[in-house]
Structure 1
Amino acid sequence: LKLRPLSAIRADAEKGDAFALYLLALAHWDGVGGAAKDIELSAALLRRSVARGSGRAAGALGFYLCCDAVGPKNEKEAVEWFRVGSWLKFAGATRNLGISYRDGAGVKKDLKEAVRLLELSASQGSTRAWSDIGWLYNNNEHGLRDKVKARGYFQKAVDGGDLSAFMPLATGYWYGITPDGSDKDPRKALEILVRGGTAGCGECWYNAGLLFGSGDLGAVDEALAYNAFMKGAELGDPSAMLEAARKLGGGKGVAKNPAAAFALYERAATAGSVEAKGSVGLMLARGEGVTRDPARAAAILREILARDVSADPKLRHAIYQPNYWGYARDLGLLLEQQLVPQRSATELVELRKRYGARDGSMKRFTVPIDCAGIKSPFHVYVVNWDRPNDETAVDPQAEWLQQERGCTVPADVIDSFRKLKKIARENNVSFVDLTVYALGAAQQEQAAKPQQPAKQAPQPAAPKPQQNKPLAPVDPTKAKQPVGA
């Protein structure tokens, strides 16, 4: 439609040209190029295109029936159209047929057939199909976990130019694919991330920045981390923008520039980063890099904090839990200083009850986590707050980890924090102080028994929380759903 006027496409369609019928169908599907939006007409045109041999049209028709927001939702019929498209050798239709078998959507679930079809799709030209198979073996959602096979398929996808495969391939080298991570190769991971970033993967540059700043390559290099984040930002990656802004705001790896940091936070927020929007609110509240604006700051901080009480985990966990505490602290200061009015007589009281005192103590502990079979350490933070059912600050962090990273904190570890919270409440003592004391005592007890294997218990660490979102230990993306035409 960008190269030819709709009238020319319509004229060819009237002559029975299969591709023109397909293009005309898409124009009416989306209502673009001067065509009226008409889903039923679009479906009819797709059927005519299929009748003239267009596998692409068959794939689009299948997608319309299975997955389009305004489609009739007939997965069984969608499968048949995907089958027709596959028979006509259209890779996209074959891929979606394989995904249908993988998920049991419109057809009986058959993983062996799913793999066969996805491999066929790859041979027909879909490099994304190699990634789909990689995810089948990488995760254990379907009981096929085989990290070695997954790596092989991700490598094929990368070699074929599929940008989505660079991240899982690099992650496997960064953290290793053996349960103990003994085979990890961060330098190989960096090589893959740079290659992906150069090919246009903004998320790759973001993770390259995290790798430079992790110390896994040896000495931490803040300057290289900042440069990588900026490259990701230039490609439009919101997380890269967020981290580059943090570097500018803190003067790490680059000269401190709060004004530039604020501008980049705003860009990241516009691109969809909720955490960046929170940072905009914090800077407006403090007057850092921008003229102080308590009213606008309070509006943003309240909007972000509302997510933390949402019943939708996707909304709630778009923010890493400890960041909510910072938003609550600054909103509380604005309310205490009467720079903005309270929405209710109890707003400040409820805020402190939910998130703890603004000058309260915070401690960091390291706990073991499991990410798709890979064991690794993870930092959690605890504060004193007054929530019901002995919920500790570790609970929402564990939920975030599960929701956003697919990783789990052992149930006994979470339970140990809850028990300490209950003891602290019953004895009217600081939960944070009790936790430090109890876990310190546990460490000493273990040190006195070196012959026994160390238990996986939280270990006290530095009290200051990190600003960065925690590093993704494994697969930063999930398997893709059926795709459109």
Structure 2
Amino acid sequence: MILFTILLSPFVVGTSTLPFFVNIAEAQTTEETQASAGVNQREPKRLALVVGIDDYPENPLRLPVRDAELITQQLELVGFEVMLIKNPTVGALEEARDLFIEKIQQSGEDVTALFFFAGHAVQFDGHNYLIPANSNIMPAPGQSAREPGKAVFRDRAVDAQRGILDYLNESGASQIIFVLDACRVNPFNPQHRATINVEGNGLAAMNAEPGGPDTFILFAAEPTRVAFDGVDNASNSPFTQAFANAISKPGSTLEAVYRQVYDQVKETTEGRQRPYQEGVLFRFTFREAEVSPELASGQISFTSGEAGVSPEFVSGQTRLLETGLERRQYDVIRDGADLLKQVLETKSINEIQKAAEAGDSESQYLLAIAYHVGQGVATDPKLTAYWLRRSATRGFSRAQFAYGQRLYWGWGEIEPNKAEGFDWWLVAAENANGSAMLEIGDTYRLGREGVPNQDFTQAEKYYNQALSIGHLEAETHLGHLYGMKATTAKKQGDTDAFEQASKKKLVYYQNAADKGSSVAMYELAYMYRYGDYVEVDLPKAIQWYKKSTTAGNSTAAEELANLYADESKTGLGEPQPEEAAKYFRIALELGSETAGVALADLIKKGKVTSKTPDEALNLYEQALANGSLRAASSLSEVYLKGELVEKDLKKAEQYALMALELLAMTEPDSEDAWPLYIRLAAYNLLKLYQEEGLQPAKPELVNKLVAQVGPLDGPMKRFTVPVACGAVTSSFHVYTWDWELDEPPTDAQFNWVKEARGCEVPTDVIESFQKLYKIARENNVSFSELTVYALGQASKKKGASEEEEAGNEQ
């Protein structure tokens, strides 16, 4: 039998308004979750009792409840079934202990039991007493007091050894882990507030029972030393934060956990606090490593060259490329080109080609990139494919991943081959390429071509493999996965599954954001902006948007700009156009393809001052050069109205016709596919022909334009309808006008919301617009006016309301 005990200083428990009431939350962990989180199913069942107490009116603490919540989250992620208890009285704590012991006894012979405590604890007469809430043992801050007698501790506190550990010894658990993060202050010596190590004021040593289960005991600080409670703005104690980090890492054996906790706490507290362990470092792993030790450590090497390749060239290049082990999301073209440029600073393209021809796999990869981007050689798709494949077949994982990308997505002027591309990802993943693991996981998560069907279990398996080698975006993708699980649970009405999936999503995003993932930061901003599992908090959303932007995320910068520009009630109240322009410009610098048009629109409307007279026009032209349909439509309007430039009807027609041509090349899930952009181009053309008297360059289009646009002076109305975006119900603006096509104009808008935003409009809302359109056509009345009439009184029931006269010129 094995017992592992961890002791945390102060007790922390959620405050209750009822005497002796304690909230005990049991989180069930399924076998699927355990397996996917890197938990070995052959190990014992995992049960934990986590206690946090900060409700000490006479001597309050800040962090213990937060610490208990953090440990609960991390234990659940590694397969523990956790009983969390916040701010219990002595009776409630003993009751929770008894329930926990009963749970262990009912779970069979193979159980790992873990106890974690955060709160006040006091050493008296060689025993460590855990102080419950409302015990009235602690002195008030700033007051010196004599320690109570032994009888007081026995009646109002819980002996950690006799009242917890001995019970676990007799519970039948096969393994026990006991952790104490306690004694952060010496309550009977107010001069000692755990800011320095103090001899004689900490907890006493504890011992496992001889002949009993193997026991591991972990203290936040050495015996007789006080634990550090953290700086004023800390979210958790140094020990708890270190312990949470350690148990979440792949390959987290007891020995590895203790070493990491010791090192991190010592470093964080500048040597003032050093964790301490008692008992046995028995065989137990919180999260299994999913990649072989040889791959994870980089001990497996790939062929780096043959005769004719200089050792200096190969060794220097190998260090640059980190052969075989990818730890971050990898963009084949951008990052490959950057690496090529670095090598070309010391080596010529001829030297690279010579090494490639001699069989060096890394040089073959770099030469393929050179042929793709035209660096030092002329671009050649065939030679790109040739050298990528040669490098891939020689075992270079980046080339394997890149070749898979080329085949799966069809870049390089070839037809996609999903099956073969996916197979190359599998090969790259076997060679420890984290980006390939994430692509495979995404394919299973989304049910993309290449796999039999959508499979969350397989997706989680590959995401965890990427996490096991330290990939920086693995937890971001796990957050995406649990977001989809939460959405599915919500649709099915499974409240418990929704709660568990949402909690894990939040934890994964927080972990990834802490590691620097700009995507995870963006997702957290979204959650706080729209109240996805958390309370709506716009200041916190803005904070995460800014962090994501600083980390290089152009989408975050653009969303922040949109938020500042928002004039509706869902925005900040008062629009801040100059701030919007600032972040649109940042988004442009970060590579956004859509921020330029949005910024140009602000300038055109006179909301912000342009930096140069032609800034807006140049922004439109730059976007059009990149194939932007929206930019073409906007330029058509600019020349039609004479905004920013002199009125020019021929140019207005030219740009509108460009927009129609670009429609055929526009992906349905892109921003440019928003139906009102192409509608604006069609409207401008019809206005040119019917009101401005311009002779059509393409007369055959006129009848189609009439059918698509309807009367130029016809009403256009805007309505707000509910949409379900993942687990969040939000609002969306939909527009109506009178055209001559068979389906209502709302259908295309609802389809775009689904394709481009991944959101769903309720079926009854869609059908309501369709029925109204049918009635309008049958009775030869205005669809827009009928919709206003029909929905005016039913807005609350149907979730749609007319907001304003939208006007025809969008």
Q: TM-score range by the shorter chain?
A: 0.7 to 0.9
Question: Counterpart of 2:529?
Answer: 174
Distance 1:409 1:171 in 2: 19
Deviation at 1:105, TM superposition (A): 6.2
Distance 1:323 1:107 in 2: 36
Structure 1 window deviating more from structure 2 (136-145 vs 431-440): it is 136-145
Alpha-carbon spacing, 1:127–1:416, altered in 2? closer, same or farther (3 Å): same
Question: Counterpart of 1:401?
Answer: 753
Alpha-carbon spacing, 1:424–1:231, altered in 2? closer, same or farther (3 Å): same
Deviation at 1:7, TM superposition (A): 2.9
Question: Counterpart of 1:158?
Answer: 513
Deviation at 1:275, TM superposition (A): 1.0
Distance 1:148 1:120 in 2: 21
Deviation at 1:71, TM superposition (A): 8.4
Structure 1 window deviating more from structure 2 (324-333 vs 243-252): it is 324-333
Equivalent position to 1:461, from 803, 807, 810: 803
Deviation at 1:282, TM superposition (A): 1.0
Alignment check: 8 A CA contact 2:723 2:760 kept: yes
Distance 2:793 2:439 in 1: 56
Bigger radius of gyration: 2
**What amino acid is aligned across from residue 473 of structure 2 in structure 1?**
R
Structure 1 window deviating more from structure 2 (273-282 vs 297-306): it is 297-306
Deviation at 1:84, TM superposition (A): 5.0
Distance 2:408 2:744 in 1: 42
Structure 1 length-normalised TM: 0.79
Alpha-carbon spacing, 1:407–1:62, altered in 2? closer, same or farther (3 Å): closer
Distance 1:251 1:59 in 2: 48
Deviation at 1:269, TM superposition (A): 2.4
Alpha-carbon spacing, 1:339–1:156, altered in 2? closer, same or farther (3 Å): farther
Alignment check: 8 A CA contact 1:241 1:265 kept: yes
Distance 1:74 1:370 in 2: 31
Alpha-carbon spacing, 1:71–1:206, altered in 2? closer, same or farther (3 Å): closer
Query: Secondary structure of 2:652's partner?
Result: helix
**CA deviation digits over 1:356-414, x for unaligned, max 9?**
211111222221211123212222121122222xx222222112211211212222222
Alpha-carbon spacing, 1:340–1:258, altered in 2? closer, same or farther (3 Å): farther
The unaligned stretches of length 5 or more in structure 2 are: 1-339, 490-497
Question: Counterpart of 2:456?
Answer: 111
More helix by share: 1
**CA deviation digits over 1:237-261, x for unaligned, max 9?**
2322122111111122447988432
Alpha-carbon spacing, 1:289–1:59, altered in 2? closer, same or farther (3 Å): closer
**CA deviation digits over 1:219-274, x for unaligned, max 9?**
33222222222222333323221221111111224479884322222223234432
Verify: 1:329 aligned to 2:683, yes or no.
yes
Verify: 1:7 aligned to 2:350, yes or no.
yes
Question: Counterpart of 1:376?
Answer: 730
Structure 1 window deviating more from structure 2 (342-351 vs 280-289): it is 342-351
Equivalent position to 2:389, from 43, 54, 76: 43
Query: Secondary structure of 2:731's partner?
Result: strand
**CA deviation digits over 1:298-349, x for unaligned, max 9?**
12212324566x5976289724223334333322221124553125656445
Deviation at 1:161, TM superposition (A): 3.2
Q: Map 1:140-219 onto structure 2 (within 5 A).
A: 146-178=501-533, 183-214=535-566, 216-219=571-574
**What amino acid is aligned across from residue 456 of structure 1 in structure 2?**
K
Distance 1:68 1:94 in 2: 19
**CA deviation digits over 1:151-193, x for unaligned, max 9?**
3333333333333434333212211213xxx722221111111
**What amino acid is aligned across from residue 297 of structure 1 in structure 2?**
A
**What amino acid is aligned across from residue 436 of structure 1 in structure 2?**
V
Deviation at 1:459, TM superposition (A): 1.6
Query: Secondary structure of 1:127's partner?
Result: coil
More strand by share: 2
Distance 1:374 1:237 in 2: 26
Question: Counterpart of 2:791?
Answer: 439
Verify: 1:277 aligned to 2:632, yes or no.
yes
Question: Counterpart of 1:221?
Answer: 576
Distance 2:358 2:426 in 1: 27
Distance 1:375 1:336 in 2: 42
Query: Secondary structure of 2:794's partner?
Result: helix
Deviation at 1:33, TM superposition (A): 3.5
Verify: 1:252 aligned to 2:607, yes or no.
yes
Deviation at 1:31, TM superposition (A): 7.0
Question: Counterpart of 1:298?
Answer: 653
Query: Secondary structure of 1:462's partner?
Result: strand
Equivalent position to 1:19, from 344, 362, 367: 362
* Percent of pairs with identical residues: 32
Structure 2 length-normalised TM: 0.49
Alignment check: 8 A CA contact 2:669 2:752 kept: no
Verify: 1:242 aligned to 2:597, yes or no.
yes
Question: Counterpart of 2:765?
Answer: 413
Alignment check: 8 A CA contact 1:248 1:256 kept: no
The unaligned stretches of length 5 or more in structure 1 are: 444-453, 469-485
Alpha-carbon spacing, 1:83–1:291, altered in 2? closer, same or farther (3 Å): same
**What amino acid is aligned across from residue 363 of structure 2 in structure 1?**
A
Alpha-carbon spacing, 1:15–1:418, altered in 2? closer, same or farther (3 Å): closer
Alignment check: 8 A CA contact 2:629 2:678 kept: no
Alignment check: 8 A CA contact 1:122 1:130 kept: yes
Distance 1:224 1:75 in 2: 47
Size of the aligned set, in residue pairs, is: 447
Query: Secondary structure of 2:804's partner?
Result: coil
Alignment check: 8 A CA contact 1:307 1:316 kept: no
Distance 2:592 2:809 in 1: 19
Alignment check: 8 A CA contact 1:148 1:177 kept: no
Distance 2:699 2:357 in 1: 69
Question: Counterpart of 2:129?
Answer: none
**CA deviation digits over 1:129-168, x for unaligned, max 9?**
3332222222359958733323333333333333343433
Structure 1 window deviating more from structure 2 (412-421 vs 144-153): it is 144-153
Query: Secondary structure of 2:798's partner?
Result: coil
Distance 1:117 1:345 in 2: 56
Query: Secondary structure of 2:764's partner?
Result: helix
Structure 1 window deviating more from structure 2 (56-65 vs 242-251): it is 56-65
Distance 1:266 1:329 in 2: 21
Distance 2:788 2:746 in 1: 14
Equivalent position to 1:392, from 732, 740, 744: 744
